[in-house]
Chains A and B, each alone.
Chain A
Amino acid sequence: MLQVSIYRYNPEVDNAPHMQEFEFDTEGKDLMVLDVLEAIKAGHDSSVTYRRSCREGVCGSDGLNINGKNGLACITPLSETVKNDKLVVRPLPGLPVIRDLVVDMSLFYAQYEKIQPFLKNNSPAPAIERLQSPEDRSQLDGLYECILCACCSTSCPSFWWNPDRFIGPAGLLQAYRFLADTRDTATDERLSKLDDPFSVFRCHGIQNCVNVCPKGLNPTKAIGHIRTMLLNRAT
């Protein structure tokens, strides 16, 4: 029997959050964590609340703290996370809880908005499209794949302490995605916005972000590239 412990908090009726325990029979199958949540919602307690959509690691909406590590519930198999038949599911740390496993992502999105995640190019647009060589295009590999699940930023202590001022690994990975794009001409303007003591430089290379990214991306490396670009621009 799998002992499932789920974080519960409904601000309309609860004074404080608590953990609710469930017994769950996996029938020997190696389910995904999301399957367990779905089964509990269907068979035990329909009030258990969480976000989910694609259930295959593409939409990034079921980022959760699973046995202490952030990840997507839909692509985290029990065999990977469960030890001693215990499964503890909590919301992503550091963001305000709206209800149960659902967090308010406003701070996270505000940081994403800050880095202006769109192509900036003042030259007249060509008739069909702005072409890139395959080499230039390959600069975006390992950057564009981010699904904004927030697993990384909510595992980063620097983001916990200053979520309003430190852009966080997810936002910075995207900042570098546009800095590295040869079609973007706003490099200098973008870098100027990052040169304060908080936006980039609150990263202390703890690498929690790299450790949890369900897409296998490396925000720390991107942050290192941004730092090098800032350094090269200034010296």
Chain B
Amino acid sequence: MVTQVTSFSRSGLSDWLIQRLTSVILLAYFICLAGILLGGVDYSAWKAMHDTTAMRIFTLLAAMSLAAHAWIGLWAVYTDYLTERMLGPRGHVIRRFCQLGTVLALVIYLLWVIQILWG
């Protein structure tokens, strides 16, 4: 069986399911935020809402979903276009480089969210 160590779960089915699940979580989160914003909030109410444990967990969940979703999506894009077939012998190097950059960005982004929420 062809497995790809750099894919999210190494299973096409799991990646596919996670991609769908995380998109539902993200949709729910952004609808929720949009609803609150459209309802009109001031700064103190906005901050109080984000200080509740439930909202913190929801935000963290959304951030984790975004990271997983972005990784699976970008991994597919990179393995389509940044390959030896498309770019010649340097393709693999360029792909590893972009994958590394993406992982770094996503990890920093996640840590930053955690720091904002609990810092």
Contacts and interface: CB of A to CB of B under 8 A. Distances in A.
Contacts of A193: 1
A213 B81 CA distance: 26
Given A158-B80, A161-B81, A193-B1, A198 B17 contact: no
Nearest to A191: B13
Interface in B57-87: 76, 79-81, 83, 85-86
Contacts of B2: 165, 196-199
Nearest to B72: A197
Say whether chain A's binding surface is mostly helix, strand, loop, or mixed.
loop
A162 B80 contact: yes
Contacts of A227: 13, 16
A230 B80 contact: no
Interface residues of A, number: 20
| Most A Cβ at <10 Å: residue of B1, B13, B17, B86 | B13
Contact of A195 (B11, B83, B85): B11
B13 A231 contact: yes
Nearest to B4: A197
B59 to A, nearest CB: 28
9 contacts: A162-B80, A193-B1, A195-B1, A196-B12, A197-B4, A199-B2, A201-B12, A201-B16, A227-B16
